[in-house]
A and B are shown apart, each in its own frame.
Chain A
Amino acid sequence: MSTVTLPDPDRVVLARRNEVVKQLKKLAPQAVLIADLEGRRTFECDALAAYRRLPLAVVLPASTEEVSAILRFCYENHVKVVPRGAGTSLCGGATPLEDSIVLCLSRMNKVLEIDAANRVARVEAGSTNIAITQARPAKGFFYAPDPSSQVACTVGGNIATNSGGAHCLKYGVTVNNLLAVRMVMMDGEIVDLGGSYLDAPNYDFLPLITGSEGQLGVVTEASVRLLAAPKRAPVLIGFDSAQAAASCVAAIIASGIVPVAIEFMDRPAIHVCEHFVPAGYPLDAEAALIVEVEGSEDEIEYLLEKIEDIAQDYNPISARRSQSAEESALIWKGRKAAFGAIGQISDYMCMDGVIPLSALPAALEGVSLICRKYRFDVANIFHAGDGNLHPLILYDANDPGQLERVELCGAEILKLCVELGGCLTGEHGVGIEKRELMYEQFTDEDIDQQVRIKEELDPAWLLNPGKVFPILGRDALKLTIDLTRLDAGPDGAPPQGELVDEGAYIEGEETL
C-alpha cells in the first residue's frame, strides 16, 4: 500500500509494443535500444525506489537528431516518453510508465567545449555534473551547482529539477548558472535557446525549462557558466542543541556575510557520517554546522573569525577550522556521502521543503514532533543557509504499512513548511511524490496557469505525464487534459502503486 498512484497504461499502446520497438530501432540506428526484460528492469525506477514500472523499452540515443526522430515518432504514435539522465531523482521524476519509453540521455555525455575566455562550458545533456569541473581545459574553473549526487547525476537532470547543492548559497542554483540549451520538443522540433551571452531576447525560456521536470522538452545540450575557483576553507562548529545551531545560521546570514555554504547536521546525521567517513565531526554535539568561506588566506581567516564570533552567542561546544586542503576535502566527503551512509543503515524518505530562515528553529522542532507522532526516527542534514530542509525519515520498506505511514509523515512535514511561509520542494522536484500536495501551496488558478503552458507545448501530454500536477483532485483541473488517460483503474478506483507484476502487459519478450 502507498499513497501515490500512477496513471493506468494505455492498452492500445501496450499491445503495439513490438512494433514500437522495431520502429525505434530503425529510426535511431546509433542508439542503444533495450527491450529485454532484464535490461528494462534496470530502468524501472529512479532513486524513489518504492515505485517501479517497466517501460515499453529504453532508448539511449547518440545525438540530438536521434532524439528528434524518436520524439517525432512517439508524437505521431501517441507513445509516452519519460526522459531520464542518471535516475537519481528522489521524487520519482524519472519513474517510467508502462506505456512509455524511457529516453535516457546518459550516452550523450561529452563535454563539447570549454571556452575559458568567456567562461562557458558547452556539454551534452548526459554529461555528469562533476565532469564539467573535471574537464581538463576547465582547470582553475568550476561549475557552481554541486548536488551531493554530482558524480552520477547529469546536467540534463540538473536542469530538469533546477538542482542545487551545498555551494549554491553564494552562487545560486542551476537556473542562475545556465546560459543556453538545445532542446527537442515533443513533436521533434529542435530549438536553441540562449548562447554564450547573457539574458534572453524576448521571453526568457531558460527559467521555464529549468525545473520543468522533463515535461516541456528534452534537453540535449547545455551551456553553463564557469567560475574561477578561489581557495576555500570550512569551519566545523558543534552545538549542544539543534535550536542553537539553527539560530546561529540565521544570525550569520543576518550579519551580512554570505558564506559559500552553511550545512547543518543533527546528531544522528553526525554519527552516521562520522562512522562512514571519519572526518572528525563532533560526536558529542546535538548539531553541527559546516560553514565555508573563500578568498585569500587572510580573507578566509577574517571571515572565519567573524563567523566564530557570531557563533559564540549560541554556546558552541566546539569549533574546528580546517587546516589543510585534505582536511577540507574530508569534511565535505562526509557531508556529500551522507545520504548514502544513511541509506546503508536504513531505508529513508528524503524530504526537501524550504522555509524562511527565521522559521528554522520552529521548523526543526516541528519536524521532530511530527516524526515522533508517526513513530519514525529522523536525521537532518541540509543546506541551512537557504532554508532548504532535508529531513531523512528512517523506515523499513519491508514492513508492510510503513511506506504509507512514512509518506503521510513526510506530507505533514511539507505542509508545515508551506504553513511557515515556505514551499514543498527546494531542489528535488515534485515528480510523483509531491504531486498531490500541490494544492497545499497553489490555488486552482495557479495550477491551471502552469498546466496551460504544458498544454501549449505538449498538447497530448506525452512528455513525462503523471508527474508534477495532481491527478487525483481532477475536478479542479478544468482544462483540456485528457484526465481519463491519467487516472482511474476499473470502476474508477485509483490504481494503487504496488510493485509491478513482472508478467503484466508484457507481450513478446524477444530481444531486439
Chain B
Amino acid sequence: MTAHMRLGFQAPETEEELSQLVVEAAEARTPLEIMGKGTKRELGHAVRAGAIVSTENMKGITLYEPTELVMVAKAGTPIAEIEAALAENDQELACEPVDIAPVLGYGPGDGTVGGLVATNISGSRRILKGAVRDHVLGIRAVNGRGEIIKSGGRVMKNVTGYDLARTLVGSWGTLAVMSEVALKVLPVQRESRTLVFFGLTDFAAVEALCLAMGTPYEVSGTLHLHAELAARVTDEELAGNGAAVTAIRVESFPASARYRTSRLREALLAYGPQLELDSDRSRVFWRDVQSLKMFQDVKYPLWRVSTVPSRAATLIGNLARKIDVRVAYDWSGGLVWIETPALADAAAVEIRRQLAEFGGHATLIRADSTIRNGTNVFQPLEPPHDALAAKLKHAFDPLGLFNPGRLYRDR
C-alpha cells in the first residue's frame, strides 16, 4: 500500500465520487492507474500514472435473480462473494474464468468482478459456454470525460444502440472505469465426468480433442498436458503416471453425463485405453486447471496463446525445434499455455513469428519486469486494426487518462 499512498491512492465508494475524481483528473491532466485489487498489476506494462483509482470500495451485489439467471454487482465486489452467492443457488459463472492470481504470486479469492470483466480471461468451459464477454449483459462505467455511461442492461437480449458493454470487456481498464456489471449466470451441472488418455503425442491429442468437439455430446473441457505439467496436478493417479495427460470433460445430469462419456469412449477408442474420473475427481482436476496449478510452483515465463485449434500441435512443434517449452493445450488446441525458459524476451519474437503464420495472438502472462519491459506483453496489432483501436480509445478516453502504457508502451 505504501507505493499506492505515494502516488495518491483513491478508492471511491460511489459512482458519483468516481465520476468526480475522473473529472478532476481530466482537469489536471493527471493520468490514472485503474485497478480493482491489483492482483494483476504484474501482468502487462507498468502504468505511467499520477494517481491510482481502485474500485475495491464499490462493492456489493445489487441484484440477484436466480430464477432469471441474472446477477448485477458493483465492480469492486470480490469474486469470492459472487461465487458464494451463486453456490447457494447451485449456480456459477459458466465461463469458468481463469484465476491468474496464484501464478502471479497472489493468494486466491480476492480479485474483483471488475478485474474479471476488464481482463476477459476465460477458462476451459469457454468452448461450450462462451467467454466472460458472452456472459456480460450490461455495464455502468465512467468514461475519460468523467461522464457516467451505461450500455446493455439486465435482460438476455439487447440490440438497443451499440454494444458498448461487451466492447469494454477485456479492455484492461484503458477505455472506461467500470462501476457495475450485469452478468448472466447458469445452473451448475450436477455431474462432471472426465475421460483421460495417457501418453498421447501432441498431434494425436489435439486430433482426439478436435474430434470430441465435433460430436454432439457437449464436451465442456478439452485439455492436453505435457508429462512435466501433468506431474504437478493434485490427482495422484494423473500426477504419478509420468505420462502426458489428455482430458475430455462432460457436464450434465448424471445419467446423461454417463451416457455421453460412454459414447465418447467409443468414438475415441483408437486413442488407446482410457480412465474415467467421477464427479469429485473431475471437479478437482478442472479446478486445478482453472487456477493454473501446473504453472504455480515454478516461475518460468508463461504465455497464453489463442490460435487455430487443429494446427496448434504443428505450431508448438515448430517452436520446440528452437526452444525448450512445456505446454498445456486447452480448448482442443485453441488455447495454448506455454512455459518457456527465462530468455531475454521470453521467446516473444519466435512465438509471434509462428503466430503470424498460424493465426492468433499471444499474451505474456508472467515474466519478471526486465523481460516485460523489453517485450510486448500484449499482441501488437496490424496497422489498420491498430488505427481502429486508437480511435476507440479516443472515443472513450480522449485525454488518455486511463492506464497509459499498460497495454502498449506508447499509448
- Residues on A close to B: CB < 8 A? 115-119, 140-141, 161-162, 164, 168, 172-173, 175-176, 185, 189-193, 195-205, 207-208, 210-212, 216, 228-231, 250, 253-254, 256, 258, 294-296, 298-299, 302, 354-358, 383, 386-388, 421-430, 434, 438, 441-443, 445-450, 452-457, 468
Contacts and interface: CB of A to CB of B under 8 A. Distances in A.
B131 interface: yes
B392 A453 contact: yes
B133 interface: yes
Contacts of A447: 161
B13 interface: no
B133 A196 contact: no
Contact of A203 (B158, B170, B360, B382): B170
Contacts of A117: 210, 214, 309-310
Name the prevailing secondary structure of the A interface residues.
loop
B147 A448 contact: yes
B166 A197 contact: no
B2 interface: no
Contact of B153 (A191, A253, A422): A422
Contacts of B378: 201-202
B253 interface: yes
Nearest to A354: B155
Contacts of B157: 164, 168, 173, 354, 383, 386-388, 426-427
B148 A445 contact: yes
A426 B126 CA distance: 24
Contact of B149 (A119, A356, A449): A449
A202 B215 CA distance: 32
B161 A442 contact: yes
A356 B154 contact: yes
Given A202-B381, A207-B166, A230-B216, A441 B160 contact: yes
Q: Which interface residue of B90, B175, B360, B407 has the most chain A CB atoms within 10 A?
A: B360
A456 B392 CA distance: 7
A443 B148 CA distance: 9
7 contacts: A201-B363, A207-B133, A386-B157, A426-B156, A443-B149, A445-B143, A450-B161
A242 B154 CA distance: 24
Contacts of A191: 384-385, 388
A82 B306 CA distance: 35
Q: Which interface residue of B149, B331, B363 has the most chain A CB atoms within 10 A?
A: B149
B308 A118 contact: yes
B255 interface: yes
B391 interface: yes
B187 interface: yes
A195 B169 contact: no
A256 B385 contact: no
Nearest to A306: B253
A118 B122 contact: no
B360 A195 contact: yes
A387 B137 CA distance: 14
A351 to B, nearest CB: 13
A203 B167 contact: yes
A337 B113 CA distance: 43
Nearest to B136: A207
Interface stretch (B20-28, B53-61, B62-70, B294-302): B62-70
A204 B155 contact: no
A449 B68 contact: no
Given A118-B309, A228-B214, A426-B157, A203 B389 contact: yes
Contacts of B306: 197-199, 201
Shortest Cβ-Cβ A-B pairs, 8 listed: A207-B166, A254-B67, A201-B361, A426-B157, A201-B379, A230-B216, A256-B187, A386-B156
Given A172-B134, A207-B133, A426 B308 contact: no
A323 B372 CA distance: 61
B143 to A, nearest CB: 6
A113 to B, nearest CB: 12
A358 B65 CA distance: 9
Contacts of A212: 162
Contact of A354 (B122, B156, B167): B156
Contacts of A202: 378-379, 381, 385, 389, 407
Interface in B64-80: 65-70
Interface in B103-159: 120, 122, 126-127, 130-131, 133-134, 143, 147-151, 153-159
Nearest to B312: A197
A193 B385 contact: yes
A172 B134 CA distance: 8
Given A198-B335, A202-B407, A455-B395, 4 more contacts: A197-B360, A199-B122, A229-B216, A421-B155
A423 B67 contact: no
